[in-house]
Amino acid sequence: MTLIWGGLALGAVYALVAIGYNIVFISSKTFNFAQAQLMMVGTFVAYTGLVTLRLPVFVVALMAVAAVFLVAAIEERVAIRPVKEPEAVLVTTLGASMLLDGVTQLIWGPQPLTVPFFGSDDVMSLFGGQVYPVEIALILLTVVIVVALSLLARRTLLGLALLGMAEDREAAMLRGVNVRRLAFGAFAFTGALAGLLGLFVGPKTFAVATLGASLALKGFVVVAIGGFGSIPGTLVGGVIVGLVEALAARYLGSEYANISVFAVLVVILMARPSGLFVRTQERTV
């Protein structure tokens, strides 16, 4: 069971990155390759607030939300908005990710930094397995965020406007939706969310300048498995990737961990080319 908890916690971290990818995809039909780096910045801000400045958790949470919101907003203005083609955005956001890697290293240095969890750091036993409290928190948080965002999308005007925008941007504009403002808001929201998540992800992964690169690819695999634009899909995708990686590393050897994840991805995409939670729509010509 220790292995299962570990796999689920790892999957939750990947899923949290994937949620950010999906929100941007829904609102802008493109990918923010710097999403994992935003979360990485969140872990560093959490470290600064909790360790360097010794601030209360609530204040640190606000600080992280504000700081990464700002970083994401600047990224949107500099790397997304001036670019017209969605394909080019992939390049500019990739550039932003590299910039964030470098800047975090310049500010916080190259060594991994311990981010204390505001709950307990002691190992606990749960259903026959050993697990850190932060790992349970990550799993629960992922479920809560997925449920909240799914409800937001279906039951609020904002969510419906976002979905409408994702479906047909021009039609949404004709219905009075301010698509530019909404896209900017969604993008900046992913930054704020990444900042908050830094307080939970940091205690699991440390704050380290290579974290973004470690998370980015697996987050993308989670999106591909769950389906591009599907928030519930990220939960299932995260569980699959986390568990497959952990089980393969344990029983097949670590050299098969990544191979197994990509093998599962290939099998799923062969059966469901748009991912598990997105239906392929035939276009009438």
Partner 1 sequence: MKGRLSLVAAVVAGTALTLAGCGSSGSSGSSGSSGGEEGGSSYRVLVLGGVSAEGVLADNAKTSIVAAKAGAESVNKNGGVLGKKVEVTVVDDGGKPTVAVTKLREALAKDGKPDLVLNSGPSTVAAATLPILKQNNILSMNIGPTEDSFNPSAFPLNFDLSPSAADYAKGFVAHVKEKGYKTVGIIHGSSAFGVTFGKEIEKALTGAGISVVGTEEYDVAALDMTPQLQSLQAKKPDALMMNAYGSPVGYLLKSLQKLQWDVPVVADISVATTGLISSPPPNGVLGTDQVKNLVMEAYGSTVYDPANTRVKEAVDTMAAIDAIPATLVMAYNYDALPLVAAAAQKAGAVDAKALAQALEDPAVHEKAVTAMLPRYNFTAQSHSPNVDENAFVFIAPSTIKNGQYQK
Binding partner 1 (rule: CB under 8 A), the pick from 247, 260, 274, 278 is 247
Kindly tell me which residue out of 60, 113, 172, 225 binds partner 1, with binding defined by CB under 8 A: 113
- Please state, in angstroms and as integers, the Cα–Cα distance from residue 110 to each residue in 43, 68, 104, 209, following that order: 14, 20, 9, 6
List the x/- string, 177-216, binding to partner 1 by CB under 8 A.
---------------------------xxx-xxxx-xxx-
**Near partner 1 by CB under 8 A: residue from 95, 116, 164, 232:** 116
> Which CB atom, from 82 or from 251, has the smaller least distance to partner 1?
251
Q: What is the DSSP letter of 131?
A: E
Number of residues that bind partner 1 (CB under 8 A): 42
- Interaction mask 139-178, partner 1, x per CB under 8 A: ----------------------------------------
- Identify the residue among 23, 149, 246, 264 touching partner 1 (CB under 8 A): 246
Cα 162 from Cα 172, distance rounded (Å)? 9
Q: Please say which residue, 134 or 268, places its beta carbon nearer to partner 1.
A: 134
Instruction: Check binding of 55 to partner 1 (CB under 8 A).
Output: no
Report yes or no: 219 and 10 within 8 Å, Cβ to Cβ.
no
Residue 56 contacts partner 1 per CB under 8 A: no
**Near partner 1 by CB under 8 A: residue from 123, 144, 263, 267:** 123
In this structure, the chain runs to a length of 285
Shortest Å, Cβ 41 to partner 1: 15
CA distances 97 to 32, 263, 277, Å, are 9, 27, 28
Q: Is 97 in the site for partner 1 (CB under 8 A)?
A: no
- Rounded to whole angstroms, how far apart are CA atoms 85 and 97? 19
Interface residues with partner 1 (CB under 8 A) are 2-3, 6, 9-10, 13, 50-51, 101-102, 105, 109-114, 116, 123, 130-132, 204-206, 208-211, 213-215, 245-247, 249-250, 253-255, 257-258
